[in-house]
Structure 1
Amino acid sequence: MDAITANHAALARVARRFESQALGALLKPVFGEAPKGLLSAGAAEEQWRPMLVEHYAQAWSNKGGVGIADAVYRELLRAQSAAQGLQPGETA
Protein backbone atom coordinates (compact mmCIF):
# COMPACT_ATOMS: atom_id res chain seq x y z
CA MET A 1 0.00 0.00 0.00
CA ASP A 2 1.51 3.30 -1.04
CA ALA A 3 1.41 6.47 1.07
CA ILE A 4 -1.48 8.05 -0.86
CA THR A 5 -3.66 4.95 -0.53
CA ALA A 6 -2.82 4.70 3.19
CA ASN A 7 -3.67 8.37 3.66
CA HIS A 8 -7.02 7.99 1.86
CA ALA A 9 -7.83 4.91 3.97
CA ALA A 10 -7.02 6.85 7.16
CA LEU A 11 -9.24 9.75 6.05
CA ALA A 12 -12.07 7.31 5.28
CA ARG A 13 -11.76 5.81 8.79
CA VAL A 14 -11.90 9.29 10.34
CA ALA A 15 -14.98 10.11 8.26
CA ARG A 16 -16.73 6.89 9.33
CA ARG A 17 -15.92 7.59 13.00
CA PHE A 18 -17.36 11.08 12.62
CA GLU A 19 -20.53 9.68 11.05
CA SER A 20 -20.79 7.13 13.85
CA GLN A 21 -20.57 9.88 16.46
CA ALA A 22 -23.14 12.00 14.62
CA LEU A 23 -25.53 9.06 14.36
CA GLY A 24 -25.02 8.31 18.05
CA ALA A 25 -25.91 11.90 18.91
CA LEU A 26 -29.08 11.56 16.81
CA LEU A 27 -30.04 8.19 18.29
CA LYS A 28 -29.42 9.10 21.93
CA PRO A 29 -32.65 11.09 22.39
CA VAL A 30 -34.66 8.36 20.66
CA PHE A 31 -33.47 5.78 23.17
CA GLY A 32 -34.05 8.21 26.02
CA GLU A 33 -37.70 8.50 24.99
CA ALA A 34 -38.28 4.77 24.56
CA PRO A 35 -41.26 3.49 26.53
CA LYS A 36 -40.42 1.77 29.78
CA GLY A 37 -41.50 -1.85 29.90
CA LEU A 38 -41.63 -4.58 32.48
CA LEU A 39 -37.93 -5.41 32.12
CA SER A 40 -36.55 -1.94 31.58
CA ALA A 41 -35.79 1.35 33.29
CA GLY A 42 -33.48 -0.14 35.89
CA ALA A 43 -30.08 1.11 36.90
CA ALA A 44 -28.36 -1.44 34.64
CA GLU A 45 -30.25 -0.19 31.60
CA GLU A 46 -29.26 3.38 32.38
CA GLN A 47 -25.61 2.32 32.51
CA TRP A 48 -25.62 0.19 29.37
CA ARG A 49 -27.89 2.31 27.12
CA PRO A 50 -25.11 4.70 25.96
CA MET A 51 -22.95 1.74 24.92
CA LEU A 52 -25.87 0.18 23.04
CA VAL A 53 -26.54 3.45 21.21
CA GLU A 54 -22.83 3.75 20.36
CA HIS A 55 -22.78 0.19 19.02
CA TYR A 56 -25.88 0.77 16.88
CA ALA A 57 -24.36 3.97 15.48
CA GLN A 58 -21.05 2.24 14.67
CA ALA A 59 -22.79 -0.69 13.01
CA TRP A 60 -25.00 1.65 10.97
CA SER A 61 -22.00 3.70 9.86
CA ASN A 62 -19.95 0.59 8.99
CA LYS A 63 -22.82 -0.72 6.84
CA GLY A 64 -22.79 2.43 4.71
CA GLY A 65 -24.38 4.95 7.03
CA VAL A 66 -26.52 7.78 5.76
CA GLY A 67 -23.98 9.62 3.63
CA ILE A 68 -22.34 11.76 6.29
CA ALA A 69 -19.04 9.87 6.03
CA ASP A 70 -18.90 10.34 2.26
CA ALA A 71 -19.41 14.10 2.56
CA VAL A 72 -16.85 14.37 5.38
CA TYR A 73 -14.34 12.28 3.41
CA ARG A 74 -14.67 14.52 0.34
CA GLU A 75 -14.26 17.62 2.51
CA LEU A 76 -11.17 16.15 4.22
CA LEU A 77 -9.62 15.43 0.81
CA ARG A 78 -10.45 18.96 -0.36
CA ALA A 79 -8.98 20.53 2.77
CA GLN A 80 -5.85 18.40 2.54
CA SER A 81 -5.36 19.33 -1.12
CA ALA A 82 -5.86 23.01 -0.33
CA ALA A 83 -3.32 22.81 2.49
CA GLN A 84 -0.82 21.27 0.08
CA GLY A 85 -1.55 23.91 -2.57
CA LEU A 86 -3.10 21.41 -5.01
CA GLN A 87 -6.13 21.82 -7.24
CA PRO A 88 -9.11 19.50 -6.54
CA GLY A 89 -8.41 16.05 -7.98
CA GLU A 90 -4.61 16.45 -8.07
CA THR A 91 -2.36 14.26 -5.94
CA ALA A 92 0.98 15.08 -4.40
Structure 2
Amino acid sequence: MDMLPFDPSIAMTQSGVNGLKKAQDMASNAMSEDKARKAAQEFEAVFLTQILETMYAGVEPDSVMGGGNAEKLFRSMINEKTAQSMAKNGGIGLADAVYSEIIRLQEM
Protein backbone atom coordinates (compact mmCIF):
# COMPACT_ATOMS: atom_id res chain seq x y z
CA MET A 1 0.00 0.00 0.00
CA ASP A 2 1.49 3.30 -1.09
CA MET A 3 1.22 6.18 1.31
CA LEU A 4 0.92 9.68 0.05
CA PRO A 5 3.52 12.05 1.40
CA PHE A 6 2.33 14.39 4.14
CA ASP A 7 1.93 17.94 2.88
CA PRO A 8 1.67 20.47 5.75
CA SER A 9 0.16 23.13 3.48
CA ILE A 10 -2.83 20.86 2.82
CA ALA A 11 -3.22 20.25 6.55
CA MET A 12 -3.07 23.99 7.21
CA THR A 13 -5.61 24.64 4.47
CA GLN A 14 -7.95 22.02 5.91
CA SER A 15 -7.47 23.50 9.37
CA GLY A 16 -8.25 26.94 7.97
CA VAL A 17 -11.39 25.65 6.27
CA ASN A 18 -12.52 23.96 9.49
CA GLY A 19 -11.81 27.14 11.45
CA LEU A 20 -13.75 29.23 8.94
CA LYS A 21 -16.67 26.83 9.06
CA LYS A 22 -16.63 26.94 12.85
CA ALA A 23 -16.58 30.76 12.80
CA GLN A 24 -19.48 30.79 10.34
CA ASP A 25 -21.44 28.40 12.57
CA MET A 26 -20.78 30.60 15.58
CA ALA A 27 -21.91 33.70 13.66
CA SER A 28 -25.00 31.83 12.50
CA ASN A 29 -25.80 30.83 16.09
CA ALA A 30 -25.33 34.42 17.27
CA MET A 31 -27.60 35.60 14.48
CA SER A 32 -30.09 32.90 15.40
CA GLU A 33 -29.99 34.04 19.03
CA ASP A 34 -30.63 37.64 17.93
CA LYS A 35 -33.60 36.48 15.85
CA ALA A 36 -34.91 34.42 18.77
CA ARG A 37 -34.60 37.42 21.11
CA LYS A 38 -36.43 39.65 18.61
CA ALA A 39 -39.19 37.07 18.08
CA ALA A 40 -39.66 36.68 21.84
CA GLN A 41 -39.83 40.44 22.27
CA GLU A 42 -42.38 40.76 19.45
CA PHE A 43 -44.46 37.98 21.01
CA GLU A 44 -44.48 39.81 24.33
CA ALA A 45 -45.47 43.06 22.57
CA VAL A 46 -48.44 41.35 20.87
CA PHE A 47 -49.48 39.81 24.19
CA LEU A 48 -49.24 43.17 25.97
CA THR A 49 -51.22 44.84 23.16
CA GLN A 50 -54.03 42.35 23.74
CA ILE A 51 -53.95 43.05 27.47
CA LEU A 52 -54.10 46.82 26.88
CA GLU A 53 -56.92 46.45 24.33
CA THR A 54 -58.91 44.39 26.83
CA MET A 55 -58.16 46.86 29.60
CA TYR A 56 -59.35 49.87 27.58
CA ALA A 57 -62.40 48.07 26.19
CA GLY A 58 -64.33 49.01 29.33
CA VAL A 59 -63.22 52.66 29.34
CA GLU A 60 -65.81 55.12 28.06
CA PRO A 61 -64.63 57.47 25.27
CA ASP A 62 -63.39 60.83 26.50
CA SER A 63 -65.12 64.00 25.34
CA VAL A 64 -61.70 65.47 24.50
CA MET A 65 -61.14 62.89 21.75
CA GLY A 66 -64.76 62.87 20.66
CA GLY A 67 -65.19 59.11 20.50
CA GLY A 68 -66.01 57.37 17.23
CA ASN A 69 -63.86 55.33 14.88
CA ALA A 70 -60.97 57.80 14.89
CA GLU A 71 -60.58 57.45 18.65
CA LYS A 72 -60.76 53.64 18.40
CA LEU A 73 -58.03 53.65 15.77
CA PHE A 74 -55.90 56.10 17.74
CA ARG A 75 -56.36 54.11 20.96
CA SER A 76 -55.35 50.93 19.12
CA MET A 77 -52.16 52.56 17.78
CA ILE A 78 -51.30 53.97 21.22
CA ASN A 79 -51.82 50.54 22.80
CA GLU A 80 -49.56 48.91 20.21
CA LYS A 81 -46.75 51.44 20.63
CA THR A 82 -47.05 51.32 24.42
CA ALA A 83 -46.82 47.52 24.35
CA GLN A 84 -43.79 47.62 22.03
CA SER A 85 -42.07 50.10 24.32
CA MET A 86 -42.88 48.00 27.38
CA ALA A 87 -41.52 44.83 25.74
CA LYS A 88 -38.37 46.62 24.56
CA ASN A 89 -37.67 47.92 28.07
CA GLY A 90 -38.05 44.63 29.93
CA GLY A 91 -41.80 44.13 29.79
CA ILE A 92 -43.31 41.64 32.20
CA GLY A 93 -40.64 38.98 31.74
CA LEU A 94 -42.55 37.01 29.13
CA ALA A 95 -39.97 37.65 26.40
CA ASP A 96 -37.21 36.15 28.58
CA ALA A 97 -39.25 33.01 29.18
CA VAL A 98 -40.15 32.66 25.49
CA TYR A 99 -36.53 33.28 24.45
CA SER A 100 -35.27 30.59 26.85
CA GLU A 101 -37.80 28.13 25.47
CA ILE A 102 -36.87 28.93 21.83
CA ILE A 103 -33.17 28.37 22.59
CA ARG A 104 -33.94 25.16 24.50
CA LEU A 105 -35.97 23.81 21.57
CA GLN A 106 -33.21 24.71 19.08
CA GLU A 107 -30.66 22.74 21.09
CA MET A 108 -32.71 19.53 20.98
TM-score (norm 2): 0.70
> Residue 23 of structure 1 corresponds to which residue in structure 2?
48
> Residue 34 of structure 2 corresponds to which residue in structure 1?
9
1:64 aligns with 2:90: yes
Larger mean Cα displacement after TM superposition, 28-37 or 2-11: 28-37
53, 71, 90: which one pairs with 1:45?
Answer: 71
Q: Percent identity?
A: 30
Q: CA separation in 1, counterparts of 2:69 and 2:38? A: 34
1:34 aligns with 2:28: no
Q: Structure 2: where are the runs of 5+ without partners? A: 1-25
Q: Structure 1: where are the runs of 5+ without partners? A: 83-92
Q: CA separation in 1, counterparts of 2:29 and 2:62? A: 51
State the Cα deviation string for residues 2-35 of structure 1 (Å, max 9, x = none): 1111110110000000000011111101122223
Runs of 4+ in 1 over 6 A off after TM superposition: none
Answer 1 or 2: which has greater helix percent: 2
Q: CA separation in 1, counterparts of 2:61 and 2:76? A: 16
Question: How many pairs are equivalent?
Answer: 82
State the Cα deviation string for residues 50-74 of structure 1 (Å, max 9, x = none): 1111111000000111100000000
Task: Give the aligned CA root-mean-square deviation in angstroms.
Answer: 1.4
TM-score (norm 1): 0.81
Whose Rg is larger? 2
Question: Shift in Å at residue 47 of structure 1?
Answer: 2.0
